[in-house]
Structure 1
């Protein structure tokens, strides 16, 4: 993939709705979305969004109004997004696993003028309605066939009355005619990160499109477009490889949403699975049946079950040419197992965040590219705590990015100033990810600074310990964190999930970590659990996990042995 310039020239005035309108005019009969066994052409998709946009306007929505989308991946999600873009409204992504109180909190924070949700999540909406007023326009998508183990129920099972009116009724309005839209309309990306409390990162259409140029055009044999006409011509070309995108994580996760949006810029087809619950065998069948070329995953959380299904003979995924993941642990062993089934695919492990980036890419085109090493993206740098550049091999620093980025956090100027510092007159984004410099642009990921364990004055980055744990036979998932200790401040604690019938002993953990890392990095407390209860985007709510292991779970190992006070070197052991 070629580097892409940091600016798109005249195209930085673009808006996604304007681009999609132009693509729909250029390829009206091409399939935009395949969902629930039906195809929706670009012309039909644009008309659906235009009708919904007209209903939004009739209910008083306009620029900067917020539209809450509480839904799984399905065509109505994308239609709502498009309709919001058409009127300059701000779509608000909501985790579909939320229950009533959690939903109420986010509705209170985002103050939406409209809410769109499926009937299978009616119970949560009813629960939220008992805590906060619902917006004036509430649209219900009938989908009792779609379920989710955590909370979904059929509409008939919810507490009556089910709030809202049928989504289909909002499509009766005459289509809103296309009209010019600028690049300054906003997009919210609510992210809980590892804290569990949602916060909104605010993008503009222009900056988001600029930041996505590499992802959209970097793998194509074309010049980077500099005008809307150029974008449309690329999308309409029949000689270019057709993009068929299947997002396996939910679109409330930025990686899935942005890649779906990118596919539509290219005039590609987006494929949605039928059920909300992730079914790896269904995913394999969809790849094979629809000739999916671009698969969006969420690291080990998705790839693990997927390769298990492939190795059990679920189907053929050799049509893939790209598999993308961002911001999640994706171990080399799973990359090797996946590429064995998709030998023509390029695996792209993106180091990024909702706050901005990309910071680095780990690219695997075949077994010879393993072990994978992330390399800094154009515009990315490594900075010391004093915000000076770090260049020397072996030194550590924080990832930063200079380029198109969000405006900051919604209604949080203090956090915005901290995460988006201006250095030597240039605005940077620094979410707090630490790396070790390896040379020639390569870096080793160490972890988010907020998760660093301070044990007896030594700093332990969870990411490097997790990498060792995930390489142990039988370990399928792992998280490392610090727990309070009266002497050392914190002790390194590992929480792992093992495969059925694969016992894990404390000795294995300590021996393997001690063999590859300094002694003070060895976990002193080990918890073996059935699952880590990751979110659909693959993240772990660290607050809940801490409560769980301190109040419920029993550690396999608690090592109170203290090292001599005179041991100042890296092997000091708390």
Structure 2
């Protein structure tokens, strides 16, 4: 099948148009019929503004219904949806728009200043489709401007309120781009073909529910209509810009379920708990302890039990056994903790159905393998060490980076693999122990932070002579960004933190800075990072954890 997502959604809309698909933060609902009509209207608006199949639609939105409608319109028509991180500055946004060569951009008025600043930096800015989510853009900048050579903006309401018709079948090569940091610090778009992305989701869509994956679109629609298929109501508490929150939400709609949206750039744990309880959410999508802990704490404060929740999904973040136990204590909750990457989908899963299953170990997917240094498969050799790889459904590669594509997606013994660089130890029955990432990337709260960028911000302070950035373990965020700096005077750490924060996105700024006269580099410029991490951990404990 090609373009399965949109075809299944259209099939559900035809079979049961009044079924609830999406619920907004304000309580407004979108049926499958309305979702399809608005996707068709948006597709028509994009066509009217010269956006063609293969062009990119950049999506700069929080978890809003418009996000899902935009993805729907794109997958159905062959326009490429490219979600972008909304936690960035104008200059970063301009770079991403240029990198993706976006023909159009969907963005909220609350980010109007950042968006306008980015578009002003581009020689050929994309068409802007503005979502009214409250104040944020001066009225004079919000007006539609259709003069020759100027930017042609339109409102979301104008876009979706058009007569449109989705094609009966999407292009064979319809794609979805998911931006990832890669390993160099420059964001890269992993180019997923829609049919391959669908194939990579079969486990999380059907198998975890005990369902047999259907063989075609008609079977998928029939499964969604089948009364024996559980009605899934998903509340993504991680942002859609994270692959798992988006793909699990798309899977929910494949099942004919309902997606709840929060419309917030930050986690409001108490609001999330109330929404889950009032809307009967059966599935939560979290980002490990960073999201799960505040939600569980809020539920305790409010005296609310998440009684309807039967499953919790997470990936890419530390999800501790202690936190999982608290979810299991809520009732019969199945926890699906995925070891996954943007570039390769799922590699392994730790699934626990009760406290007795804890702590659990990840179990390899059928398409995942472990490779030793000679690139030999050792996933069946208990005790072996190796790097994780997969030869299942894979992206085409990175947009605009053939060298990195060849490096990350090597052909091994005639079969294309993805090798993200994660080291594991093989346990019994295809279980593994995750040992760590093969790069210096700091994964904090699900966001990848690259030390070089943070080090450059620190070194721009006139008193800083040297700097090194590492990740330190953190109970909530998995890791925090921490820095050791050498200064030439008595500048306090707080001043250095403020200086760096003014030059970095919020999630990139160091949470702790250790100040020293020098960093004890070797004559070759090397640092003893193990000792430095130990010193920084002790310094953090002595000074108190920076919030």
User: What TM-score do you get using the length of structure 2 for normalisation?
Assistant: 0.80
Aligned residue in 1 for 2:28: 38
User: For 1:315-330, what aligned pairs fall within 5 Å after superposition?
Assistant: 315-330=304-319
CA contact (8 A) 1:359 1:377 kept: yes
Could you tell me which of 87, 94, 112 is aligned with 2:102?
A: 112
Q: Distance in 1 between matches of 2:381 and 2:156?
A: 57
Pick one of 401, 408, 419 that aligns with 1:412. Answer: 401
Contact between 1:69 and 1:116, CA under 8 Å: does it hold in 2? Answer: yes
Counterpart residue number, 1:495: 472
2:53 matched to 1:63? Answer: yes
1:273 paired to 2:250: no
**Would you say the 8 A contact 1:15–1:183 is kept in 2?**
no
- 1:154 is matched with 136
Which residue is equivalent to 1:90?
80
* Structure 2 residue aligned with 1:431: 420
Counterpart of 2:354 in structure 1 is 366
Match of 2:340 in 1: 352
Residue number in structure 2 paired with 1:22: 11
Change over 3 Å in CA distance of 1:72–1:219 after alignment to 2: same
Tell me the equivalent position of 2:165. Answer: 176
How big is each residue's C-alpha offset from its partner over 1:283-303, in whole Å with a ceiling of 9 and x where there is no partner?
A: 111111111111111111101
| Map of 1:503 onto structure 2 | none
2:251 and 2:88 map into 1 onto residues whose CA distance is 27
CA deviations over 1:219-239 (Å, ceiling 9, x no partner): 334332111111110011123
For residues 227-255 of structure 1, the C-alpha deviation after alignment (integer angstroms, 9 at most, x for no partner) is: 11111100111232101111111111111
Change in Cα spacing, 1:108 to 1:494, as seen in structure 2 (3 Å) is closer
Q: In structure 2, what is the Cα distance between the partners aligned to 1:278 and 1:199?
A: 26
- DSSP 3-state at the match of 1:275: coil
Deviation for aligned residue 1:47: 0.5
Identify if the C-alpha distance between structure 1 residues 411 and 384 changes in structure 2 by more than 3 Å, giving closer, same or farther: same
Q: For residues 442-490 of structure 1, give each alpha carbon's deviation from its aligned partner in whole angstroms, at most 9, with x where no partner exists.
A: 11111111139xxxxxxxxx99xx9xxx9xxxxxx99999999xxxxx9
SS in 2 for 1:56: helix
User: How far apart are the structure 1 equivalents of 2:99 and 2:318?
Assistant: 30
Equivalent of 1:260, from 238, 243, 249? 249
Q: Which residue pairs with 1:509 in the alignment?
A: none
**Matches of residues 358-507 of structure 1 in structure 2 within 5 Å?**
358-390=346-378, 391-451=380-440, 495=472
Structure 1 gaps of 5+ residues are: 1-11, 145-152, 453-461, 471-476, 485-489, 500-526, 563-569
- Looking at structure 2, the residues matched to 95 and 219 of structure 1 have their Cα atoms a distance apart, in angstroms, of 29
> For 2:286, which of 297, 303, 314 is the aligned residue?
297
1:13 is paired with a residue whose SS is coil
* 1: CA distance, partners of 2:475 / 2:358: 24
SS in 1 for 2:339: strand
In 1, Cα distance between equivalents of 2:348 and 2:519: 37
Alpha-carbon separation, structure 1, partners of 2:85 and 2:470: 28
Give me the whole-angstrom Cα distance separating, in 2, the residues matched to 1:480 and 1:136: 28
Alpha carbons of structure 1 residues 158 and 292: separation in structure 2 relative to 1, 3 Å:
farther
Task: Give the drift of 1:98.
Answer: 1.4
> Structure 1 residues 194 and 556 mapped into 2: Cα distance closer, same or farther (>3 Å)?
farther
The SS at the match of 1:352 is: strand
Asked if 1 retains the 8 angstrom alpha-carbon contact of 2:119 and 2:125, the reply is no
Q: Is the 1:33–1:271 contact (alpha carbons within 8 Å) kept by the matching residues of 2? A: yes
Task: Answer whether contact 1:351 1:360 (CA < 8 A) is retained.
Answer: yes
2:115 is the counterpart of 1:125? yes
Write out per-residue CA displacement over residues 103-158 of structure 1, whole angstroms, 9 at most, x where no aligned residue.
001001011111111100001111102211454521111101xxxxxxxx622489
Query: Quick check: 2:42–2:160 contact (8 Å CA) kept in 1?
Result: yes
Q: How far off is 1:557 after superposition?
A: 13
List gaps (5 residues or longer) in structure 2. Answer: 145-150, 456-466, 477-492, 523-529, 536-547
Which string of whole-angstrom CA distances, capped at 9 and with x for unpartnered residues, describes residues 356-409 of structure 1? 131110111111111121111111111012211224333321001121111111
What is the DSSP-based 3-state SS (H/G/I as helix, E as strand, rest coil) of the residue aligned with 2:295? helix
What's the CA shift string for 1:13-38, capped at 9, x where partnerless? 34322221112111211001110211
Aligned residues of 1:478 and 1:495 also touching (Cα < 8 A): no
For residue 251 of structure 1, what is the aligned residue in structure 2?
A: 240
Aligned-pair RMSD on alpha carbons?
A: 3.6
CA deviations 1:249-298 (Å, max 9, x no partner) are: 11111111111111111111110124332111111111111111111111
2:514 corresponds to which residue?
Answer: 554
Structure 1 residue 559: Cα displacement: 11
- Evaluate the alpha carbon distance shift between residue 497 and residue 14 of structure 1 in structure 2; reply closer, same or farther with a 3 A threshold: closer
Contact 2:3–2:76 (CA under 8 A) maintained in structure 1: no
TM-score by length of structure 1 reads 0.76
189-198 or 73-82: bigger deviation: 189-198
The separation in 2 between residues aligned to 1:372 and 1:443, in whole angstroms, is 10
Aligned counterpart, 1:142: 132
Aligned to 2:148: none
